[in-house]
Amino acid sequence: MQFSKFAKKFTDHSGISQLMEDLGDAMAGEQDVLMLGGGNPAHIPEMLAFFQDRMQRIVESPAEFAHIVGNYDPPVGDKQFITALSELMNKEYDWGIGPENIALTAGSQAGFFMLFNMLAGEFENGQRKQILLPMAPEYIGYAELGLTDDLFIAKKPEIETFDDHTFKYHLALDDLKIDDSIGAICISRPCNPTGNVITDEEVNFLSELAEKNDVPLIIDNAYGMPFPNIIFTEAKLIWNQNTILCMSLSKLGLPGMRTGIVIANEEVIRAIGKFNGIINLALGSFGPALALDLVTSGEIIRMSNMVIKPYYQRKAERAMAILKQELQGVEFYIHKAEGALFLWLWLPGLAIGSEELYERLKRKGVLVLSGHYFFPGLEEDWQHKHECLRITYSMNDEVVSEGIKIIAEEVKAVSK
């Protein structure tokens, strides 16, 4: 069978496909592995209990159940949920948005596919535009989303190291000059894979740069404020008519519901609705239904602040301490754990490269992710790309502890 060029792009090997295959097999119990490579949120008891109770109430309400499983939602998503969300965001941030500023997508990945190909690629006048990733490393899931080649251009960060074996990436501000070949700027905050939260000053710089050049700033806020608020440092959330804010219900504990959220100006939202109508016809209703009470009551803010955030902060601190202890005797740095679900390990001078280290760890029953996948758009052969691993700490503590010890043993073995 012959596949089209379109199909070949999506069926060739990619980091995100490998990640999800490994994750799916591990979570289904088909592999006896220590899964430290995926982004699956933890099964937090309080959140599971709430969603189970909400599901039971839906099932016991014939009218609500019939609506959820038997009716199509509009192309932009469930109107009741969108209205409640706009009211919540206005209460928290006084942005003055309405339902016309919000669209749902079939997960964040689908949302970025639409946005990237809407704002970059080939245009009717023959011009080609790219998405600027102002600081690599960036999210592995972006890499293969473009319908045209070379959709991304990325910039190297500045690196600040600290005496406690930690480091932090910063925007290389002097290198961030753009022209009319850029269709949009995109950055994740907190960053997947590093856990970096760029500073408010850096966000304002990007916002001003985008507005000055009449391109949108896309902020991937999947782990950010006000929910699930997996942020362990001081930060403010911004939005304006030139900002496209992307959120998700996944990290609340609903990854199986595939519900992404886009907050943007009306023109972008109308376009998302048209994309949804063509690609999906309509969106699934269960995600918005399960989260509606949380959003309407504002309880989603309290649970994010009092349940989700401290749960992950404890796990991050614990994993960081174990990793530092186990890696004594080798040169290493860990990115400051400022948010998200990951530790980003940098092994300067790693002799075998992160790709080979990934394979060796996989043979020992530990799944991580090689850092080289996280630099879409950075064509430069930068050695740093091959010296990093992404390690997930959201799994249960025993799995994380055992996995980190095996990682450390292997790192020491290849460092001799």
CATH number at residue 347: 3.90.1150.10
- Domain ends where: 266, 297, 328? 297
Q: Looking up tokens 């016309």, which residue turns up? A: 100
Whether 82 and 216 map to the same domain: the answer is yes
Cα 340 from Cα 19, distance rounded (Å): 17
Determine contact, residues 186/136, Cβ cutoff 8 Å.
no
Cα 22 from Cα 24, distance rounded (Å): 6
How many domains would you assign to the chain?
Answer: 2
Model confidence at 15, pLDDT cuts 50, 70, 90, reads low
Q: How many CB atoms lie within 10 A of CB 146?
A: 20
Residue 30 has pLDDT above 90, yes or no: no
Determine contact, residues 164/135, Cβ cutoff 8 Å.
no
- The pLDDT tens digits for 281-322 are 999 999 999 999 999 999 999 999 999 999 999 999 999 999
**Bridge partners for 345 per DSSP:** 334, 389
- Domain ends where: 273, 297, 321? 297
Q: How many helices (H) and strands (E) does the chain have?
A: 13, 16
- The pLDDT tens digits for 202-221 are 999 999 999 999 999 999 99
- Determine the pLDDT at residue 4: 76
Residue 299 belongs to what H/E stretch? helix 299-303
Whether 273 and 169 map to the same domain: the answer is yes
Task: State the residue range of the domain holding 264.
Answer: 71-297
Whether 344 and 377 map to the same domain: the answer is yes
Structure tokens at 265: 């100006």
In a domain, 20, yes or no: yes
Model confidence at 23, pLDDT cuts 50, 70, 90, reads low
In a domain, 57, yes or no: no
Residue 179 has pLDDT above 80, yes or no: yes
Q: Looking up tokens 């394979």, which residue turns up? A: 359
In a domain, 62, yes or no: no
Whether 362 and 390 map to the same domain: the answer is yes
Alpha-carbon distance values, 76 to 266, 333, 358, 411 (Å): 12, 43, 40, 48
Residue 360, exposed/middle/buried by CB under 10 A (0-12, 13-18, 19+)? middle
In a domain, 60, yes or no: no
- Domain ends where: 228, 263, 297? 297
Whether 316 and 397 map to the same domain: the answer is yes
